[in-house]
Structure formats: structure tokens, C-alpha cells
Amino acid sequence: MKYSRSPIKKLSALVSILCISNPVFAWTVNVNSSVPVQTMVVPQLSSINGQLGTVNSQLGNIQVTLNNIGSAINQQGDRQASLIDQAFKKQQQFEIAQKKQDRQKAIIDKYKIPDDICAQSVSGGMRSANNAAYSGIASLGAASSNSNVRSAYLAPAKSTDVDTGNTASVHSAYCSETDMVAYGGTNFCQTKSDMPNGDISLSSVLQGAGQPNKQPEFTFTEKQVDAALLYAKNTAGRSAGRAPAKGEVKSASGRVYLGLLKQYQAYIDAAQQPQLELIAASKPNPQTIDPINEALKVPSMRHYYDRTVSATGKGKEGMSLREFEQFEVGRRYSNIAYQADLASKTETELLKEQIMVSNLTNWLLLENKKQLEKQNILNGQILAILAYGQYKDLLDSKVNQLNQAVSAK
């Protein structure tokens, strides 16, 4: 509110007027009262006091307003401070939660079981599959349903003539196109076989008997196992003489003959062992079923399995140990889907995979060491045979000389 003149200024002006007004007059003065004061000063003072009261009232209102404004400002400041405090606390809680999640994620990445842990089940099942395969070597012949195979491995040793005659008869089941041209229509080659030369071909042991130029197979069917066993018999299990009868072994010469036969059979057993181990490792192995089923839960493993595993290996009896090992190595090296898996792995998972590959390499090196040990044994036996052939006649001649010297005395 604006005023034309303040009360104090009015009073000053009035006093000035009273002091300098001309002319100066004199009035009768009543000592108990003053008419000028009563009529002029007092009303002005009353007006001034009223105006001062109004001003004080207005100042009081202004003070109240200022107090209210101050309170409002303080309240607004408190609200702002509260909002800032709440925002800070929320940010702090968010950062704490974020750090907690980061720590949890780091721990999970470090210790979690990777999505393709199922792929590692192949490695976990390798030992049991290995034991199951090689424990059946001694019973390969007995496990066959083929009478020719059972006879070749279970019957007493035949004479050389009988043994070779049996070989000719057995070959009729493996007649090739060349055989058909040479003696087709005879008892030794009635029809062309779907496994030509299966009993005399090295591929029967290495990749399974079958038609020429077929894809290699590492899990053999029962017929392929029989063909491989017959090949092993023809190459490393030929008979050098028949088994003596009970009456014959009672004589001194019979005992000598039996001893020689057993020594020969010891060499034959060693000669057959590598082939029999390979055949045993090519038979369907039930110990591979569970690890493979677990591994196939990983898409990249399923992709490689569908594309590479043989029909027999996909059968209900499981794949062979050889194909099991082939699968474990090949699914890393020659599997495009596995390469895609590597691109999505974390650093920790890649480190684990590197360790798994290193362990696989160690396993294969151990198997190579075992093969070298067997090879050393076979080499020693070959050396023994060569030494026997070289020194046998020399020792016999010296024995004759010793006998003659004793007789001369």
C-alpha cells in the first residue's frame, strides 16, 4: 500500500509551520488547556497515531506473510531435501543391488555347469566303454552265432591240410566277382557275396567288411564281426599241426609234440591279439548308450551325430568304442556347429574347454603308449623267432657233435 506522505513528515511540517508562521499572534492562554493544541495539534497527532497503528498493523501482516513465506520456503526445502535424500538412497540401493548381481554373475560364470556339460559325458563314459570292449576279447569266437567262426576259434587245432580245406569252404560265403569268374557255380562259390573277400581283406578289420569303396564303418554288424574274425584266423591263426590225442601225449614223443604245439600257439595268440582288440573295439558297446544320449542334448553334438555316426552305431546296442572315440575327437575338429559354440563361450568356459581337449589328448597319448608296449612285445617275439630259426640248426649240429664225442669215449 502507498501513502501520499508519512505521518512523521506531516508532524515535521506542522511543527515547522507553527514555528515560522507570520505574523505572530498572541492568544489568551488557559493554563489548564490550549485551544490550538486541542483544536489543531491533538487531532493531527490522533490522525498520525491512527496512521501509525495502521502501518504497524500492516507491518504485522507483512511480518506474518513473510513468516508464512519463510515457513513455506523451509517446508519446500525440507521436501526437496527429502526427495534428494530418497533419490540418493534409491541410487545407493540400486548400486548395491547392481554390484551384488555383478558378483553373483561372476561367481556363476566361474563355477556354473556350462550348457554343453552333456558333451563332457562322452569323456566321462570313456573308461567304462573301454573296459567293456576289451574284457570281451577272449569270448569273441564263442559269442558268434556263425558255426564256421565258432569252429575256427573253439575247436581243437586241425592239421594243416584240414585247416586250409576249411578256409576254402568258409570262403564260399565271401565269394567275389573274381571268384565267380574263376570257379563260380562250384561248392566254393555259388553266388556273389555282399561282403566280397570279407574273410581275406584287411579292410574287414579296419573299417568293416562290405562292398568295395563303401564308407568306413567303426561299429560293426554281427556279420562284419564274423568276417573280421575269419580274417584274423586266416592271417594270424593258421594251424601248424593238429592237436594230439589223449593216448598220444602219454609217450615221450607225444609230450614233446604237445610242448612244441603250445609254444607255437603262444606266438599265435600274440600275433592275433592286436586284430582281436580292434575287432572287440568295433562291436556295439552298451556302455556308450547313456553318455551319448546325454551328449545329444547339446545341439552341436546332435548335428555332428546325425551327420557322421554309422547306422549300426545309432542302433539300440550303442556305438562301438572306436566310433565313440572317433565321435569325441571329430565333434571338435570337424564340426562346424562346435565352432559356433566356441564363439558364444565366455573366457572361463573356453578355458575349461581347453582343459578338456588337453585331457582328451592325454587319453589318446596313453592309448598310444599302450599300443607301443604291445608292439614292443610283438617285436620281441619276432626277434625270438628269428633267433630260433638262426640258432636251431647250429645248436642241433653241436648236439650231434657232443653225442659223437661221448660215444667215442
The predicted structure's pLDDT at residue 189: 92
The predicted structure's pLDDT at residue 140: 93
**C-alpha cell of 42?**
491533538
- Judged against a pLDDT cut of 60, whether residue 22 lies above it is answered with no
Peptide bond into 23 cis (omega under 30): yes
Higher pLDDT, 389 or 149: 149
The predicted structure's pLDDT at residue 1: 43
Partner residues linked to 33 by β-bridges: 30
Sketch the domain layout of the chain as residue ranges: 120-280
The predicted structure's pLDDT at residue 309: 94
From CA 354, how far away is CA 332, in angstroms rounded?
11
Work out the average pLDDT over 36-44: 65
Alpha-carbon Rg for the chain in angstroms: 57
- Judged against a pLDDT cut of 80, whether residue 11 lies above it is answered with no
The predicted structure's pLDDT at residue 406: 63
The predicted structure's pLDDT at residue 402: 65
The answer to whether residues 304 and 124 touch, using CB atoms and an 8 Å cutoff, is: no
The predicted structure's pLDDT at residue 409: 60
Q: Quick one: which of 317, 333, 307, 313 has its CA closest to 208?
A: 313
Higher pLDDT, 384 or 185: 185
Q: Which of 114-128, 205-219, 282-296 has the lowest mean pLDDT?
A: 114-128
Higher pLDDT, 120 or 334: 334
The predicted structure's pLDDT at residue 380: 82
Higher pLDDT, 28 or 283: 283
Instruction: Tell me the percentage of the chain whose pLDDT exceeds 90.
Output: 34
pLDDT tens digits, 140-174: 999 999 999 999 999 998 998 999 999 999 999 99
252-280 vs 126-134: helix crossing angle, rounded to 10: 150
pLDDT band at 3 (very low <50, low <70, confident <90, very high): very low
Q: Which of 85-99, 159-173, 301-315 has the lowest mean pLDDT?
A: 85-99
- Judged against a pLDDT cut of 80, whether residue 49 lies above it is answered with no
The predicted structure's pLDDT at residue 2: 46
The predicted structure's pLDDT at residue 85: 79
Helix, strand, or coil (residue 354): helix
From CA 268, how far away is CA 280, in angstroms rounded?
18
The DSSP code sequence of 376-407 is HHHHHHHHHHHHHHHHHHHHHHHHHHHHHHHH
Sign of CA dihedral 395, 396, 400, 401: negative
Name the average pLDDT for the chain: 82
The predicted structure's pLDDT at residue 101: 83
Tell me the pTM: 0.67
Work out the average pLDDT over 46-66: 73
From CA 149, how far away is CA 146, in angstroms rounded?
5
Runs of H (alpha helix) within 135-251:
140-143, 147-154, 160-170, 177-183, 203-206, 222-236
- Judged against a pLDDT cut of 80, whether residue 132 lies above it is answered with yes
The predicted structure's pLDDT at residue 210: 95
Work out the average pLDDT over 382-401: 77
